[in-house]
Every structure is written in C-alpha cells, then in structure tokens.
Amino acid sequence: MDIAIICASHSDEVLDANLRRSPLIAEGTRPFHLERDAVSAAQAYNRALDATTAEVVVFAHHDCYLPRGWDALLQRRLAEVAEADPDWALFGPFGVGLDASHIGPVWSSSIGLIVGRVPTQPTRVQSFDEMVIVMRRSAGLRFDEALPGWHMYGTDIVTQARARGLHAYAGALPTIHNDRYHDHLRQDFVDCYQAMRHKWRDHLPLRTPIIKISRSGLHLYKNRWQDYRSESFRANMSVGVAHPPEHLASICGWADLTASAL
C-alpha cells in the first residue's frame, strides 16, 4: 500500500524526540514529508498534499510516536474499512463516534492514560483528534484554509466528508501521543470554535474530542468553567514528556504491533 507520512512542525526538538523516532520513519520504511512555517494546519497539509503522491496520506503531529508495525496494522484496518465501504475517505486512531463515544486506544501523556475504547471493527466517527488523521487521496478532500490556526480541522475534514456522503472511521490502531499538559483553552482555540460554529451551523451539534460545538456556543463557557475547576486534578494526572516514547509504547504493551492480536 502506498503510504506517506506528513508532519507540520515548528520544533526539531519535539519532532526528533517523538515522531522521527518512529521505526517506519527512522528506518526509512515510508516516505516522510515535513512542512514548516505555515500559518495554519490547513495550509500546511494542503501544501503537503500538493507535494506528495501517495494514495494513503497520514497527517501526524510531531509529538506522536508510531510503534513498530504501526503501518502494517494500519493496512489491516484500512482493508477492513474498504471491505465494508470501498469509498471510505478518512481513518484515525482516535475519534468521536456518531453516538459521542470515544473510539480507539491512544496513550496521552497529558492525562497519563490510554483513552478510547477498542472497537471490534472500525467505527464511523464525527470527528478526530488531530494527532493522527489518515486520508484516502482519491476521496478528493482538501483542508479548509479559511479555518484559522491549529484546532478543529479534524472535525472540519470529517464534516466535509459526511456532507459529501463519504465516511470517516476510527479503529484499533495503538498510538502514543506524547503531548503536554494543557491547563485551559486559549484564544486560538476559541477562534476555531467560533469559526466552526458559524461554518457548520446547519449541521450542529458536533462533538469534538474536547468539546461540543453547539448553535448557542454556551458549551465553550461550560468547558472553560470545568477546566478551571479541574485544573489541579488534571495537572496531577499528567506524566509529563520526559519518558522516551519507546518506553511509553512498551508499558502499554505496544512495543511491536507486527503480530498484534487487535
């Protein structure tokens, strides 16, 4: 299967400590394309689409680690999706199901947990965590460069697909997200929330991994209040980013996914 890995990064330190250590990149198993100096995720990823030709494009954050055998397991998951839905558009290791459940086992350092349930088969979703998004190029999707910044594009690209009668899926594809603790939602997140609320007004509500996008927008203020009240608890859950990602994969039982029973 023709697969390329895409990353938009502003930090060689973070990139070298995580995504570049993934065996499929470190050993040159798959093509790796890096984007710099974009004003938004949409701009970076559209530039990457124009610069690459692979049919399956993996957009990955620089603080992710893809364990050994990750691409082989990805191919298994995509074969399962294609068998049921030959015109699938998107896949991810973590998404929000149509019933608002969290789908897909991912380690998050910011909360010190494996999040997402393990589905028995790939499950349709309404949004992705942007840490990793897999796109079938021939689905003809593009990221919306009118969407500001670096948030919500995982929900936007799925909603684009669904508006065209295409589908997005999440499944059992263990991934390490060696992310930092976030104490609260900042203004750039608020800007993206409001842009999504206006763009998809006729499709609301939509649930992202972080927040519900509603017509009223009141969930933004509810989420901020919940963040304020839970800040100390969430900070204590975080394990920080000092651990090598290979170690995190090992303690999760994901050191080598080649023979995974998932």
CA dihedral 215, 157, 65, 170 (to 10 degrees): 80
Condensed to tens digits (0 to 9), the pLDDT of residues 162-218 reads: 999 999 999 999 999 999 756 567 889 999 999 999 999 999 999 999 999 999 988
Taking the C-alpha atoms of residue 25 and residue 31, their distance in angstroms, rounded to an integer, is 7
Instruction: Express each pLDDT in 99-137 by its tens digit.
Output: 999 999 999 999 899 999 999 999 999 999 999 999 999
Crossing angle (nearest 10°) for helices 153-163 and 187-199: 10
**Residue 232: band (very low, low, confident or very high) from pLDDT cuts 50, 70, 90:** low
Q: Is the pLDDT of residue 149 over 80?
A: yes
Least Cα distance to 18 among 199, 168, 186, 241 occurs for 241
pTM score, two decimals?
Answer: 0.94
Q: How far is CA 243 from CA 17, 164, 168, 252, in A?
A: 10, 42, 32, 13
